[in-house]
A and B are shown apart, each in its own frame.
Chain A
Amino acid sequence: MENPILRTENLNAYYAGQLALKGVTMAVPEKRLTAIMGPSGCGKSTLIRCLNRMHELIPGARVENKVFLKDKDLYTMEPTEVRRMIGMVFQRPNPFPTMSIFENAIAGYTLNSIRMKRGEADRIVEESLRKAALWEEVKDHLHKKGTFLSGGQQQRLCIARALAMNPEIILLDEPTSALDPKATAFIEELMEELKKSVSICLVTHNIAQASRVSDYTAFMYLGELVEYNTTEKIFTVPQDKRTEEYLVGKFG
């Protein structure tokens, strides 16, 4: 495994008493795109939400053991601090409806009352919108409300919002599930470009998407990390029978 940027050690997660993640130990490499795939209910969303401590917001949820970002033990820190270091984009595009495009992009700073120097806000907004391949389309409409964009554009706005915080890694939880094929293809291309500057961890239920865009793929089933390897190996010579059955289409 190349330079890991994020790793878990024997991670267990509970949902109101039920064990949803069983002893997951995994290392996410730096500046690469790691995909996590598996059938519904396998725990992939739970896993990714444990990485930025969103899982514990659910009443009755509990997490055991460790997650490390580089050398920082995330579960000994303030959860809000952790979430500022790790960006997240959700399945349903969720720009803040009362804010303009500009305000949305810079929301991580304004909502957290982080002070910015003069002109810095403009720079941050432009930079992150450019990185999310949205700048050209919205640069003349920055003060319009975010919710008037198309689904694909809204999702890119959410990506820009996450990128604005300059995280080392962003987590994408099925980011294209709610989008049409054209917007999906656009975002897949965007991810290929983005991974050069920020590490990406992607949860997807679309096997073909995992094969197209990722460098490493993890397969999860019933809360366990079944197999984890380079995408090429997983898709040509998977080692575990369950992985093979999933890829071939026997379940999920």
Chain B
Amino acid sequence: MRAPKLHRRLFVNGLFRAGIYGLAFGALLPLFLILFDVFRKGLPVIDWNFLVSMPRATGETGGGIANAIVGSLMLIGLAAAMAVPLGVAAGVYLSEARKSRLAYFTRLAVDVLQGMPSVVIGIIAYLWLVRVMGKFTALSGGLALGLMMLPLVVRGTEEVLKLVPAHIKEASLALGVPHYRTVLRVIIPCGLPGIISAVLLGVSRIAGETAPLLFTAFGNRFLEFSPLKPVGSLPLTIFTYAMSPYQDLQAQAWGASVVLIVLVLATNIISRVVITRWKIQF
């Protein structure tokens, strides 16, 4: 009496299993297809020259994306310089003052900021800096990207610091250490891997943003190190080259895409490695 039912159940079980594996695979497929295509088109373009030389004049072939790489790094650096101190401080505040009204509104504001469209943020940065300064600058691009990175740093810091057990804090306070020093020298170090990870995630998020840079950093064909000038970046380069009629430039766009993807993947992976390898045992 029992045997046939069991048989049927096992069969259905197997069916579901296959279905789930298939669908999971299906979800991964687009990622692999993208990577495959991009690498296929972009890798041939990349060589040492590509990475360190400047773009050639219009019409000429050859050249590289050195300006874009340097520009992207600069923008990320500026964004981090703005988002990290402010974000960590806010995260510390939120984890310490859990129930106050200010904490409630801060969290609300951060959540709203996180959902804001990147192009709108770009326009705001244009309004605040570009209009005021009268020119496009890396600084304004950094501001836009910083605003996008901020919520990630705040939330990440808050979550990590909330995980630090109360008894560690008590140990420090019982030694007569004032509250602020307890936070700076005990709690934050305990949360450091998490904070670093959150920052890296923020970086990987903003590395590929294009829209806000359109009217802030604007783009620059030349290598530029000053934050008060417009500056090129990988996403902008990809955008410009892909839209151009020149075959050569289109190919370079693929190359730049590979570089950008590698940058994003690398920061993502490092962020995870930091969390798993650097374990602080409580």
Contacts and interface: CB of A to CB of B under 8 A. Distances in A.
Question: Real complex partners, A and B?
Answer: yes
B176 A80 contact: yes
Contacts of A181: none
B167 to A, nearest CB: 4
A165 B167 CA distance: 19
Contact of B171 (A57, A85, A94, A147): A94
A63 interface: no
A183 to B, nearest CB: 18
A43 B174 CA distance: 19
B1 interface: no
B170 A54 contact: yes
Interface string A65-92: 0000000000000001111110110101
Interface string B135-149: 000000000000000
A112 B280 contact: no
A107 interface: yes
Given A80-B176, A81-B176, A111-B177, A90 B168 contact: no
B185 A97 contact: no
Given A96-B168, A98-B190, A108 B175 contact: yes
Given A97-B280, A98-B280, A147-B282, A158 B171 contact: yes
B168 to A, nearest CB: 6
* Interface core residue of A54, A85, A107, A158 (most chain B CB under 10 Å): A107
A71 B168 CA distance: 31
Contact of A108 (B168, B176, B280): B176
Contacts of A80: 176-178
Contacts of B167: 90, 92, 94
A128 interface: no
A111 B280 contact: no
Nearest to A89: B174
Contact of B185 (A57, A85, A88, A111): A111
Contacts, number: 72
A84 B176 contact: yes
Q: Please report whether the interface of chain A is mostly helix, strand, loop or mixed according to DSSP.
A: mixed
A161 interface: yes
B181 A111 contact: yes
A162 B165 CA distance: 20
A90 B171 contact: yes
A217 interface: no
Contact of A112 (B165, B177, B189, B192): B177
B282 A97 contact: yes
Contacts of B178: 80
Contact of A97 (B170, B173, B175, B190): B190
A82 B281 contact: no
B186 interface: yes
Contacts of A98: 186, 189-190, 192, 280
A214 interface: no
A95 B185 CA distance: 14
A242 B174 CA distance: 33
21 contacts: A52-B174, A54-B170, A80-B177, A83-B175, A83-B176, A88-B174, A94-B170, A96-B168, A96-B171, A96-B190, A97-B190, A97-B282, A98-B189, A111-B172, A111-B175, A112-B176, A147-B282, A162-B174, A162-B175, A165-B175, A165-B176
Given A84-B175, A97-B190, 14 more contacts: A82-B176, A84-B176, A94-B167, A94-B171, A96-B172, A97-B282, A98-B280, A108-B176, A111-B172, A111-B177, A113-B181, A161-B171, A161-B175, A165-B176
Interface of B: 165, 167-168, 170-178, 181-182, 185-186, 189-190, 192, 280-282
